[in-house]
Amino acid sequence: MSLKMIEKEGFEFVQGGICAAKGFRANGLNCGLNPDREKYDLALFASDEICDAAAVYTTNLVKGAPILVTQEHLKQTGHKLRAVIANSKNANTCNADGVEKAEKMCALAAAELGIVPQQVGVASTGVIGENLKMEPIESHIHELAGGLTSDGGGRAEYAIMTTDTVSKEVAVSFELGGKTCHIGGMAKGSGMIHPNMATTLNFITTDAAIGHEALQKALSELVQITYNCLSVDGDTSTNDMILVMANGLAGNREVTSEETGFDVTKAEPKSDYEKFYTALWLVLVNLTRMLAADGEGAGKFVSCRVEGAKAREDAITLAKSVISSSLVKCAMFGEDANCGRVICALGYAGVSIDISGVDIDLTSEAGVMPAYRGGYAVAFDEEFAKKVLEQDEIEIVVRLKEGKAQGCAWGCDLTYDYVRINGDYRS
Amino acid sequence: MSLKMIEKEGFEFVQGGICAAKGFRANGLNCGLNPDREKYDLALFASDEICDAAAVYTTNLVKGAPILVTQEHLKQTGHKLRAVIANSKNANTCNADGVEKAEKMCALAAAELGIVPQQVGVASTGVIGENLKMEPIESHIHELAGGLTSDGGGRAEYAIMTTDTVSKEVAVSFELGGKTCHIGGMAKGSGMIHPNMATTLNFITTDAAIGHEALQKALSELVQITYNCLSVDGDTSTNDMILVMANGLAGNREVTSEETGFDVTKAEPKSDYEKFYTALWLVLVNLTRMLAADGEGAGKFVSCRVEGAKAREDAITLAKSVISSSLVKCAMFGEDANCGRVICALGYAGVSIDISGVDIDLTSEAGVMPAYRGGYAVAFDEEFAKKVLEQDEIEIVVRLKEGKAQGCAWGCDLTYDYVRINGDYRS
């Protein structure tokens, strides 16, 4: 399925993923962790200059060893990073020697790059609780570092993918004080994905100059309306991480944080911070939607927009409840306009709303189908409903009579393939 | 799959379901709501004497019209009931004329039985938001009431089943002050089932004499460790109801409520209240396990027992998180010992625990397979793991080092059939 991009005037989508920003080079290869030698499993990317960094991690109490090591490194360097090494096929989580091996991965990369290990972040994704083999990484680190190029973003992305069926890269260019800046990112999905954390592995690079504090503020705020509005299967992973690195090579005056309070989905950005914030949002929100559309086994991209809520948080909670419902997901898979399941999911979301004020529409490129008005089902034409639901992208629109806030959440349908993929994930 | 029953000395399982208790008669038939004329869709049961009643309803803000009408009737009669009418195939929920039609169902039954409509409870299950046809009910109510017999529990049960593949009836006999008493119940599942409410439709009858207050107290407490420990798909239905009716025909001295504080799973009941409480628990817990084992599309019954928790509520929350995880459910379907998903689900359950104290075993009739010790994965024999997971009943045992409390939760695997059934539920 080809997903529509969320766009904004003054911000141009460009190629290159994490290498779109000046001074970033990347590589990926198969080192042998994955027995399928066609599939890459080890990624490295590095900046020519030291970067200010910001990160958001999983809220799961069980945290992968790479998360612990990256957190510690950022603390030791005062949030400065030069490079990231990442592998797929093995999460290096719940292993007694996990931290030691994650540190070793950083040390191997640092030795090749001639930097200190603390300036390297590390990430792993794959099976939890299996011993990570170090030999394949040790024997390929030289080749990996030697192949770093400014067009290698796609290779790094291919190396971090697990059950993802398509690569997920977004980059935008924009201007700050007459200087052209870039933000680019890559992400991997595609199961064990649920709101309330930084979902999955996501690496974002920028050549804009922006300090750690402003970067962290922008990231933490934007995660609430992007990654945390995503659910594939309700499982919060142990290894989720979003890491942003800014090397300043665009030459702009350093962006500092502001209390903007502006609505990134609607308002025009004015200050440098608002512009950077908007560009980062465009990368995050489009990566989030790509993750939803490529959720494990997904056949359809399903989003829910809730309007007329008391607060944005309420709207997002309600929208998440709808797109997380197994029954709504199955109905979307079956192209069945069973909106009783939508109003049911609104009812158990834990947000106090007046059900007698609920309107629901099913929408897609084929049109808008009114399903509920004032809390009651309305008669509809089954043939038209089928046409609306046959499309690859479905938006469920919910209107409340509580206030003026709105929010979106993104997910996918529940299919035979999700069950197949996850019935036998370790092999 | 044939499910093991949870038993207790001094309490004997008997046949008859809701008709095991003296003075209850039941019937079920196909009235035409379900086009498959072989499948019953309309149930009625009645007590020869007025009953004290207690009930627990869904916590969903969207409540089916039958819930609203039953609540109102119990309020008007001071919690006294004589009969219940119930239909499957249509939930009579989110329809503008829903309350009017639910009232009409009670009036039709009351006229046949020669009682006031307020002494009739009503329940509906099936598709939400579709108009309920009254003609089939009106034209069959006389036949339905005329066919009430003391061996008709099975017919009533067959009439309330939807996607259930097996009937769910449990009845026990026990003694109170030298008088033989009975509690019997029936339940229907099997999707839109999730903790935090009284799940599904469940009707319990008893010939023991027990007032509303004691009955409601016992029911409300026991629901916490039975129905609320159940999840099939994370969706909390709009029409869930557990209704208990006690007609006193056993002739025992009326049971009054007590602050027992006794552990129904372990302690021996002493007082009449403790005995009644234990008998009610046996009916509820076994119905709950039957609902889990026959969850939509289920191939396996999966339970999780958490020991060594600080409080029982913590243990239940953790156990529920494990059996609700789509990834754990898929791994059970695939007979894959992927216990990283179990510890992951413990980690995001929202309970503060020390992960480094977590032991996990996979157990079944084939044996006990240690999977995690002290928060770390342990090596295991894949062939033995396969043998353990090939069984129909799997118990995941989690031991913590937090305290002495324990709790159980019950669910099932996630299968192709769940997706198939729910992709096309309305037809």
Q: Which residue of B has its CA nearest to A379?
A: B130
**CB pair distance less than 8 Å for A348 and B127:** no
Taking all residues of chain A, what is their mean pLDDT, rounded to a whole number?
Answer: 88
Convert the pLDDT of each residue in A386-409 to its tens digit: 999 999 999 999 999 999 999 988
Q: Is the pLDDT of residue B359 over 90?
A: yes
User: Which 367-396 residues of chain A touch chain B by CB within 8 A?
Assistant: 371-372, 375-377
Q: Is the pLDDT of residue B198 over 50?
A: no
User: Which 339-358 residues of chain A touch chain B by CB within 8 A?
Assistant: 339-341, 343-348, 352-353, 355
Strand pairing report for B179-188 and B168-176:
antiparallel
- A60 touching chain B per CB within 8 A: yes
- Tell me the torsion sign for CA atoms B263, B265, B267, B270: positive
Asked if residue A262 lies in contact with residue A80, where contact means CB atoms within 8 angstroms, the answer is no
Q: What is the pLDDT of residue A191?
A: 62
Q: Phi/psi of residue A294, each to 5°? A: -105, 25
Q: What is the pLDDT of residue A387?
A: 95
Tokens of A208: 């804009």
Residues of B in contact with A62 (CB under 8 A): 343-344, 346-347, 355, 375
> Which H or E run contains A256?
none
**B199 assigned to active site:** yes
Asked if residue A128 lies in contact with residue A238, where contact means CB atoms within 8 angstroms, the answer is yes
Asked if residue B26 lies in contact with residue A313, where contact means CB atoms within 8 angstroms, the answer is no
- Check residues A277 and A107 and name the one with the higher pLDDT: A107
Selected for mutation to probe chain A from B92, B100, B235, B328 (highest A CB count within 10 Å) is B235
Q: What is the pLDDT of residue B196?
A: 38
Q: How far apart are the first and last CA of chain B?
A: 27
Confidence of residue A181 (pLDDT cuts 50, 70, 90): very high
Q: What is the pLDDT of residue B4?
A: 82
- Minimum mean pLDDT among A326-335, B31-40, B145-154, B160-169: which range? B160-169
Residues of A in contact with B346 (CB under 8 A): 61-62
Confidence of residue B259 (pLDDT cuts 50, 70, 90): confident
User: Which 194-233 residues of chain A touch chain B by CB within 8 A?
Assistant: 194, 196, 233
**CB pair distance less than 8 Å for B419 and A415:** yes
Strand partners of residue B47: B24
Confidence of residue A197 (pLDDT cuts 50, 70, 90): very low
Convert the pLDDT of each residue in B397-420 to its tens digit: 999 999 999 998 888 888 888 777
Strand partners of residue A57: A241
**CB pair distance less than 8 Å for B348 and A422:** no
Q: What is the pLDDT of residue A64?
A: 87
Confidence of residue B309 (pLDDT cuts 50, 70, 90): very high
CA B91 to chain centre: 18
Instruction: State the CB neighbour count (10 A cutoff) for residue B245.
Output: 28
**CB pair distance less than 8 Å for A348 and B418:** no
- Check residues A422 and A147 and name the one with the higher pLDDT: A147
Tokens of A177: 């004080």
Q: Is the pLDDT of residue B199 over 60?
A: no
| Span B284-288, average pLDDT | 84
Q: What is the pLDDT of residue A59?
A: 76
- Tell me the torsion sign for CA atoms A350, A352, A357, A363: negative
Convert the pLDDT of each residue in A290-313 to its tens digit: 888 887 788 899 999 999 999 988
Angstroms from B359 CA to nearest CA on chain A: 12
Q: What is the pLDDT of residue B192?
A: 62
Confidence of residue A58 (pLDDT cuts 50, 70, 90): confident
Q: Is the pLDDT of residue B190 over 80?
A: no
Hey, which residues of A are catalytic here? Answer: 199
Strand partners of residue B123: B86
| Span A238-254, average pLDDT | 85
Per the listing, tokens 């579709």 go with B130
Convert the pLDDT of each residue in B53-74 to its tens digit: 988 887 778 888 999 999 999 9
Confidence of residue B264 (pLDDT cuts 50, 70, 90): confident
Asked if residue B377 lies in contact with residue A129, where contact means CB atoms within 8 angstroms, the answer is yes
Model confidence, pTM: 0.80
Task: Please tell me which residue in B70, B199, B200, B238 is annotated as part of the active site.
Answer: B199
**Rounded CA separation B100/A408 (Å):** 36
User: Which 291-330 residues of chain A touch chain B by CB within 8 A?
Assistant: 324-327, 330
Q: What is the pLDDT of residue B234?
A: 66
As for the ipTM of the complex, it is 0.75
Q: How far, CA to CA in Å, does A308 sit from each of A160, A226, A358, A369, A410?
A: 39, 20, 10, 19, 18
Angstroms from A91 CA to nearest CA on chain B: 10
Q: What is the pLDDT of residue B427?
A: 56
Q: Is the pLDDT of residue B242 over 80?
A: no
Instruction: State the CB neighbour count (10 A cutoff) for residue A133.
Output: 14
Taking all residues of chain B, what is their mean pLDDT, rounded to a whole number?
Answer: 88
Q: What is the pLDDT of residue A196?
A: 38
**Rounded CA separation A234/A194 (Å):** 5
- A61 touching chain B per CB within 8 A: yes
Angstroms from A328 CA to nearest CA on chain B: 9
- Tell me the torsion sign for CA atoms A313, A315, A318, A319: negative
Q: Which residue of B has its CA nearest to A65?
A: B376
Asked if residue B297 lies in contact with residue B418, where contact means CB atoms within 8 angstroms, the answer is yes
| Non-local CB neighbours of B100 within 8 Å, separated by 6+ positions | none
Q: Is B132 helix (H, G, I), strand (E, B) or coil?
A: coil
Convert the pLDDT of each residue in B320-342 to its tens digit: 899 988 889 989 998 988 888 89
Q: Is the pLDDT of residue B365 over 60?
A: yes
Q: Is B42 helix (H, G, I), strand (E, B) or coil?
A: strand
Q: What is the pLDDT of residue B56?
A: 85
Confidence of residue B208 (pLDDT cuts 50, 70, 90): confident
Q: Which residue of B has its CA nearest to A416?
A: B416
Asked if residue B306 lies in contact with residue B398, where contact means CB atoms within 8 angstroms, the answer is yes
The torsion region of residue B84 among left (phi > 0), alpha (psi -120 to 50) and beta comes to beta
- DSSP string of A275-323, one letter each residue: HHHHHHHHHHHHHHHHHHHTSTT-SSEEEEEEEEESSHHHHHHHHHHHH
Residues of A in contact with B96 (CB under 8 A): 376
Residues of chain A with pLDDT > 90: what percent? 51
Q: Report the residue from B235, B331, B414 with minimal CB separation from A345.
A: B235
Confidence of residue A138 (pLDDT cuts 50, 70, 90): very high
The torsion region of residue A375 among left (phi > 0), alpha (psi -120 to 50) and beta comes to left
Tokens of A309: 């809520």
Convert the pLDDT of each residue in B84-138 to its tens digit: 999 999 989 888 899 999 999 999 999 999 999 999 999 998 888 889 999 999 9
Selected for mutation to probe chain A from B237, B330, B332, B400 (highest A CB count within 10 Å) is B330
Asked if residue B245 lies in contact with residue B53, where contact means CB atoms within 8 angstroms, the answer is yes
Selected for mutation to probe chain A from B90, B420, B422 (highest A CB count within 10 Å) is B422
